[in-house]
Amino acid sequence: MRHGATAWPPELAELYRTEGYWRGLPLGLLPEQWAARYGDRTALVDGTTRITYRELATRVESAATNLTVLGLEPGDNLLVQLPNCHQLVLLVLACARIGVAPVLLLPAHRERELVALGRHTGAVALATTATTRGYDHAAQARRVAEQVPSIRRLLIAGCEEEAGTETDLDALLDSPPVLPAALPDPDPSDVALFLLSGGTTGTPKVIARTHNDYEYNFRGSAAVCGFDTGTVYLAALPAAHNFVLGSPGVLGTLASGGQAVFVASPSPTAVFDAIKTHGVTHLAAVPAVLRRWMESAERTSIDLPSLRVVQVGGERLEPETVRRAAQVLDCRIQQVFGMAEGLLNYTRPDDSRWAAEETQGRPMSPHDEIRVIDANGEETAAGEPGELLTRGPYTPRGYFRAPEHNRTAFTADGWFRTGDVVRRDAAGNLVVVGRIKDVINRGGEKIAADEIEHLLAELPEIADAAVVPYPDPDLGERVGAFVVLREGRTLSTGEAVQRLTASGIAAYKLPEQLWVVDTLPQTAVGKTDKQALRRLVADRAADRAADPQYQH
């Protein structure tokens, strides 16, 4: 196990093995098994590229060899920032074949986040594209490498020429091995990949997922969701995200012998085209994206006969939208309440109408343990809201290299405090009713308030800052900031946004409203009273909603 990852207690590890959840197989050896079962069926579709199961196995093995020849070794970590494409799958599996763990960044992340994650994980290389959507990722990669001494190599897809420490990622993944190399046998209880949590504090929250636990994450999910060789899964949201990668996602599709199709953007046009062209049966959305699809589907009266299930998660979906979406898209809407930290909840095909519409489902595994507790740490009465705590075969016992934070994020006996407030019914279905973590959920993208507060406080104009969500009909919440300015200074929202952008953070984290105030309200112990600020923002929004001037 890599230093800084937390193992499960040995007796539970033993139980998870004997129960068959943990199969003791490195993820990188799965393509061989899949190839033996599914042979010449199509595994991946990306534009004009089609890869069969047999080809996938061969190419993962070649890519693993090329990575080894390049000097990557078991125990190394690698930053990966790629858009939705087949190369992402090849790279993740090839790394897993040789015990190298990819840190899966989203395409929206920027220099500051890459540097922080590179340092935190001691990454030895960075894999990315030359450009995506007009952004020069190659130039960013070079700036990142300068600031992260452990990074020795840049693997750049579509790079113009190979030079010095820069290698063409496409060639590495697409070419037969340049030299032979003996491949190591990775330890299946070691880290297979790193996922990122949007939650909690400013230091990067990196989640080390082992081969054993992640394989169960997507295999168990695929079983619950009924994936099989007839499944055609469309990756429309970022495939580096746990929802699309493994819930059951692309990997769950491959484990079931289905086809995983990639599109670069979740725009209704791209998605509907792909559904029609490839006969897509399943795909995942966050509520804001689902609403865009519904709006477009209604306007164009589109018919999508192949579509069976749209999974929706990342943020609470209101029951009314579940009903309407099922009608408009003529398919089942499955609610998914998941987290990169582990626990996945799904509504099931045979659920009552009430459970399917009003709840966010129940845990994937019979061995997921759930507690709902009050402020004193006592279990709440049945049906009463409380904080959700969880343990289980695919919920790691700590964030990676974060001992300080782990002391509060986990209980002494290993329960993960999700920070979500839920109610649980007698059948075990969970309803998400709120949250106690200081996070903004912007259309499914999580932003840690204190990360943005620290960035704002670094600006010379700002004396103090408090970041809170404000309600939004489209995204659910957006990022708002209350700021106290230093004597004689001014700062507009536009200027603040410009400065934060220049500091190199992902655009989705930028405050969209800046409210200048004389002081921030304080609690009795002298901390900023975020509750009061949240109420203030909610009241203003309610006033606006009631004001005829704002109604249309």
Residues that bind ligand DBH (CB under 6 A): 242-243, 247, 313-314, 336, 338-340, 344, 444
Q: What is the DSSP string of 73-133?
A: -TT-EEEEE--SSHHHHHHHHHHHHTT-EEEE--TT--HHHHHHHHHHHT-SEEEEESEET
Q: Are 348 and 321 in contact (CB under 8 A)?
A: no
346 vs 482 by CB, closer to ligand DBH: 346
Per CB under 6 A, does 420 bind ligand AMP?
yes
Instruction: Decide which of ligand DBH, ligand AMP, none touches 417; Cβ closer than 5 to 8 Å per partner kind.
Output: none
Tell me phi and psi for residue 108, to 5 degrees. -75, -15
Chain residue at closest Cβ approach to ligand DBH: 338
Interatomic CA distance for residues 291 and 285, integer angstroms? 9
By CB under 6 A, the count of residues binding ligand AMP is 20
Per CB under 6 A, does 368 bind ligand AMP?
no
Interatomic CA distance for residues 278 and 43, integer angstroms? 12
Instruction: Decide which of ligand DBH, ligand AMP, none touches 247; Cβ closer than 5 to 8 Å per partner kind.
Output: ligand DBH
- Least distance between ligand DBH and beta carbon 361 (Å): 10
Per CB under 6 A, does 511 bind ligand AMP?
no
- Other C-beta atoms closer than 10 Å to the C-beta of 24 total 11
169 vs 340 by CB, closer to ligand AMP: 340
- Least distance between ligand DBH and beta carbon 242 (Å): 4
Per CB under 6 A, does 346 bind ligand AMP?
no
Interatomic CA distance for residues 467 and 452, integer angstroms? 7
Instruction: Decide which of ligand AMP, ligand DBH, none touches 432; Cβ closer than 5 to 8 Å per partner kind.
Output: ligand AMP
Partners of 332 in beta bridges: 309
Q: Which secondary-structure segment (H or E) carries 245?
A: helix 242-246
Q: Which of 338, 393, 398, 469 binds ligand AMP (CB under 6 A)?
A: 338
Interatomic CA distance for residues 552 and 4, integer angstroms? 54
Which residue in 331, 332, 330, 356 sits closest to 345, CA to CA?
Answer: 356
Per CB under 6 A, does 249 bind ligand AMP?
no
Per CB under 6 A, does 334 bind ligand AMP?
no
Q: Which of 314, 392, 469, 511 binds ligand AMP (CB under 6 A)?
A: 314
Instruction: Decide which of ligand AMP, ligand DBH, none touches 435; Cβ closer than 5 to 8 Å per partner kind.
Output: ligand AMP
Interatomic CA distance for residues 35 and 13, integer angstroms? 29
124 vs 340 by CB, closer to ligand AMP: 340
Range 288-305 burial, b when 16+ CB lie within 10 A, else e: bbbbbbbebbeeeebebe
Coil, strand or helix at 284? strand
- Least distance between ligand AMP and beta carbon 303 (Å): 28
Instruction: Decide which of ligand DBH, ligand AMP, none touches 75; Cβ closer than 5 to 8 Å per partner kind.
Output: none
Instruction: Decide which of ligand DBH, ligand AMP, none touches 420; Cβ closer than 5 to 8 Å per partner kind.
Output: ligand AMP
77 vs 395 by CB, closer to ligand DBH: 395
**Residue showing tokens 């992402």:** 88
- Least distance between ligand DBH and beta carbon 314 (Å): 4
Partners of 446 in beta bridges: 441
Residues 6+ apart with CB under 8 A from 405: 200, 201, 203, 205, 399
User: What would the x/- binding string for ligand AMP be over residues 75 to 114, using CB under 6 A?
Assistant: ----------------------------------------
Interatomic CA distance for residues 281 and 256, integer angstroms? 14
Per CB under 6 A, does 316 bind ligand AMP?
yes
Per CB under 6 A, does 446 bind ligand AMP?
yes
121 vs 441 by CB, closer to ligand DBH: 441
Q: Which of 83, 99, 118, 198 binds ligand AMP (CB under 6 A)?
A: 198
Q: What is the DSSP code (8-state) at residue 550?
A: G
Q: What is the DSSP string of 38-89?
A: HTTSEEEEETTEEEEHHHHHHHHHHHHHHHHHTT--TT-EEEEE--SSHHHH
Interatomic CA distance for residues 295 and 293, integer angstroms? 6
Note the residues at the interface with ligand AMP (CB under 6 A). 197-199, 313-316, 335-341, 360, 418, 420, 432, 435, 446
